[in-house]
Amino acid sequence: MRLLIIGTLNGHITEAARIAKAKGLSVSHVETIGPAISFLRQGGADVIFIDVTLDIWTFVKSIRDERINTPVIACGIGHETKLAVQAIRAGAQEYLPLPPDTDLIAAVLGSVSTNEAPLVYQDPVMAKVVKLAEQIASSDASVLITGESGTGKEVMAHFIHEKSKRSQSSFISVNCAAIPENLLESELFGHEKGAFTGALARRIGKFEEADGGTLLLDEITEMHPRLQAKLLRAIQEREIDRVGGTKPVRVNIRLLATSNRNMMQAVKEGTFREDLYFRLNVVAIEIPPLRERKNDLVILAKHFVKKYSEVNGLDSKELNQEACNKLLVQTWRGNVRELENVIHRAVLLCESNIIAGCDIHLPQFDVSADISPAHTQLSNPAVDKNVEGVGRTVAEVERDLIINTLTHCSGNRTHAATILGISIRTLRNKIRQYRDEGIKVPDGQLDQAS
């Protein structure tokens, strides 16, 4: 992942850059907004840290007008609370207090990052899939990776890139579902100066950024039909047209795409072009849901325990047998992503070095198909606990849960949001609402502000 840092931040920048580099990011640095915008037009970054004292509003507005979609994180020294709130209002996604804290940087990067996780597996079912991926990795054929949400499609795409002849070149990923249509066109193909109001200069799109390397089109079924046509042309002709461009640009890329929908169904329904489907589907890799490869559960869980202990600067922890058993009987509708979240919470909540069954908080409504809902209601400890809540509104229970979790985390909002399974922004909004209602909320980094 590529990080662009804008500003000087009283020298804290060096330390933030060092931490980011240690996490495997490539870091670029400019001191002011002008050069930053030029840098981004050249196709430069996946995430931006900007000094909170700079004019964030103008910066965010300028890049969004130019349809540059890179997430912006404001950074300030310690409790520059007012500036932090202003930064968020000006369009920054998050506020990161400095001097930089390794955990927080990791959490913030985690919230915006594309996937560069290693592919962990053990189950023979998965081993077969990985073997196929290895066999086809070195060719330049397009690959369509399908599977339920959270099964590891992006991880697999990155794995294929790493095993390919292009591994030394860039791996660029675009989430087609997360970006509105008009932005996506610029994002993929770039644009020329004057192509639309706000197009103040030429911008290089992801196709050109990925030149010589691999381009992953994530959740491709969400792409608008008009762009599907443009994409098809790009694949067939091996050249692209920048928005507002007059002559095509040649590109040399290997294309990977993912979808969690049944593509044939989308073709039948007319939402996805059949010719594009056949172009992409030269090789098909289907990732089985986690429930069909139970032998991966414990090894993945251990991997996440290690990862989140390190990320949060905690001593190494072990899963005991009871905890493993609890994981093994779960259905995991949200697949590996859900397992990862459960383990992340367990690591944060567990107070000793042994993660026991009681540290594993399973999602309430994930039940095995063969257990009736009534039975689940009785047997699910998460539900049992909440019986005390009968007679109270959802809003009240939610408020208490949020405040108790914040108290548990000594006001650390990043940790609290992770445990609660909500975004930092949602948590921040809730806190603001409670404060407005005159409710006392435990102090954290931004506290006096809201």
C-alpha angle with apex 346: 344 to 348, nearest 5 degrees?
A: 70
Indicate whether 149 belongs to the interface with ligand ADP (CB under 6 A). yes
- d(Cα 107, Cα 406) in Å, to the nearest integer? 16
CB pairs under 8 A, 24+ apart, for 261-264?
Answer: 261/221, 263/144, 263/146, 263/221
Give the torsion through C-alpha atoms of 87, 91, 95, 98, to 10 deg. Answer: -60
> b or e along 133-147 (b: 16 or more beta carbons within 10 Å of the residue's beta carbon)?
beebbeeeebbbbbb
Position of tokens 């030149």? 211
**187 binding partner (options Mg ion, ligand ADP, none; Cβ < 5 to 8 Å by kind):** none
Report the site for Mg ion in 153-182 (rule: CB under 5 A): 154
Indicate whether 151 belongs to the interface with ligand ADP (CB under 6 A). yes
Q: What is the length of the chain? A: 450
Position of tokens 């927080």? 104
Applying CB under 6 A, which of residues 340, 403, 419, 445 lies at the interface with ligand ADP? 340
The gap from C-alpha 96 to its chain's centroid, in whole angstroms, comes to: 17
Residue type, 181: E
* Residue nearest to ligand ADP according to CB distances in the complex: 152
**147 binding partner (options ligand ADP, Mg ion, none; Cβ < 5 to 8 Å by kind):** ligand ADP
Choices 59-67, 117-125, 238-246, 426-434; region in contact with ligand ADP by CB under 6 A: 117-125
Indicate whether 338 belongs to the interface with ligand ADP (CB under 6 A). no
Indicate whether 155 belongs to the interface with ligand ADP (CB under 6 A). yes
Sequence-ordered strand ranges (E) for 89-213: 94-98, 143-146, 171-175
**345 binding partner (options ligand ADP, Mg ion, none; Cβ < 5 to 8 Å by kind):** none
Q: Please, which residue, 259 or 312, has the CB nearer to Mg ion?
A: 259
Report the site for Mg ion in 32-61 (rule: CB under 5 A): none
Indicate whether 150 belongs to the interface with ligand ADP (CB under 6 A). yes
Q: Residue 30: beta bridge partners?
A: 6
Q: Please, which residue, 44 or 150, has the CB nearer to ligand ADP?
A: 150
Indicate whether 202 belongs to the interface with ligand ADP (CB under 6 A). no
Q: Residues in contact with ligand ADP, total (CB under 6 A)?
A: 19
Sign of CA pseudo-dihedral 112, 411, 95, 436: positive
Minimal CA–CA distance to 440: which of 399, 409, 391? 399
Minimum distance, C-beta of residue 187 to Mg ion, in the bound complex (Å): 17
Q: Please, which residue, 120 or 267, has the CB nearer to ligand ADP?
A: 120
Q: Residues in contact with Mg ion, total (CB under 5 A)?
A: 1
Q: Where do contacts with ligand ADP occur on this chain (CB under 6 A)?
A: 115, 117, 119-121, 147, 149-155, 258, 300, 303, 336-337, 340
Q: Where do contacts with Mg ion occur on this chain (CB under 5 A)?
A: 154
